[in-house]
Amino acid sequence: MERIPKPGEFYRHFKGGLYQVISLAEHTETGERLVVYQALYGTYGVYARPLDMFAGTVDREKYPGAGQMYRFEQVEPGEGAAAWGTAAARTAAIQSEAARIEKIPGPRPEEEPSSWLQEFLDTDSLEGKLALLKKAEGKVSQSEIDCIRLSLDLPPEPKGESREAQLAHIRSALLLMQKFDGSRLRR
C-alpha cells in the first residue's frame, strides 16, 4: 500500500474535518495496522482506524457528493484556506471551543492577585504577615485564603468552614511559627 501516513502529517476527512496523524499502531490480537490520529477542532479527540479504511477511497454510492477521492487526503499547512476548510468552519470551531472553555470553572488568566496578597506573599517577617492579615480582614476571598495556606504549607481546611474561621486558623498558625520558629528559620 503506497498511501501510508506518517506521524505529524495532516489529513482532511472528506466531510471537512482536519486531523493530524499521531502514530501507526498494531492491533494486539489481530496484528491489523491502525492509524492513530487526532482531530484539530472541537474537543481534539484521539481516534484509531484500520489503515486500509484510513487510506481507502470514499464510497461513492453512500456519499455521492463527496468532494475528494480518498476518505482522508493529505494536506500541507501552507496550501491555503482550501486545505484547512472554509473560514466559516474554522471560525465556528474556534467559537465553540471558546464557549466550552468559558464554561470551565476556575480563575481566569486575566485575574490579578490583590496588592495586599502580593505584599503578604513577599513579606519575610511573620510580624509583617500578621499585620497584613489584620489589615485585610473582611476583604479576603476564598482563593486568597487558599494562596496563603499554600504559601505557609498549611493543610486545607474542612469544607464549609467560614472565611473568618479559616483566617483565625491561619493567624494561630502564624503565631505558633513566630513562637517556635522565630526569625532563625524564616530568614
Query: What's the pLDDT tens digit per position in 86-126?
Result: 555 555 555 666 666 666 665 555 556 678 888 988 988 88
Q: Say if residue 14 is in the same domain as residue 76.
A: yes
Q: Say if residue 94 is in the same domain as residue 123.
A: no
Q: In the structure, what pLDDT confidence band is assigned to residue 185 with cuts at 50, 70 and 90? A: low
Average pLDDT over residues 18-24: 93
Q: Say if residue 82 is in the same domain as residue 153.
A: no
Q: Is 142's pLDDT higher than 50?
A: yes
For 151-169, the pLDDT digits (tens) are 888 887 777 788 888 889 9
List the Cα angle 99/46/103 in 5-degree steps.
Answer: 15
For residue 96, give the amino acid letter.
Answer: S
pLDDT of residue 50: 94
For residue 49, give the amino acid letter.
Answer: R
For residue 85, give the amino acid letter.
Answer: G
Q: Is 66's pLDDT higher than 50?
A: yes
Sheet holding 10-13, edge to edge: 46-50, 33-39, 18-26, 10-13, 72-75
The rounded Cα 144 to chain-centroid distance in angstroms is 22
DSSP string, 120-163: HHH---HHHHHHHHHHTTT---HHHHHHHHHHTTPPPPPTT--H
Q: Is 51's pLDDT higher than 90?
A: yes
Where is the domain boundary, 75, 102, 129?
102
pLDDT of residue 32: 94
Is 161 within a domain?
yes
First to last CA, the chain: 68
Q: Is 70's pLDDT higher than 80?
A: yes
Q: In the structure, what pLDDT confidence band is assigned to residue 83 with cuts at 50, 70 and 90? A: very low
Q: Over the chain, what is the mean pLDDT?
A: 80
pLDDT of residue 184: 59
Pick the closest to residue 181 from 104, 129, 120, 105 (CA basis): 129
| Percent of the chain whose pLDDT exceeds 90 | 21
| Percent of the chain whose pLDDT exceeds 70 | 76
Q: Say if residue 66 is in the same domain as residue 94.
A: yes
Q: Say if residue 88 is in the same domain as residue 135.
A: no
Full residue range of the structural domain in which residue 153 is found:
115-180
Is 185 within a domain?
no
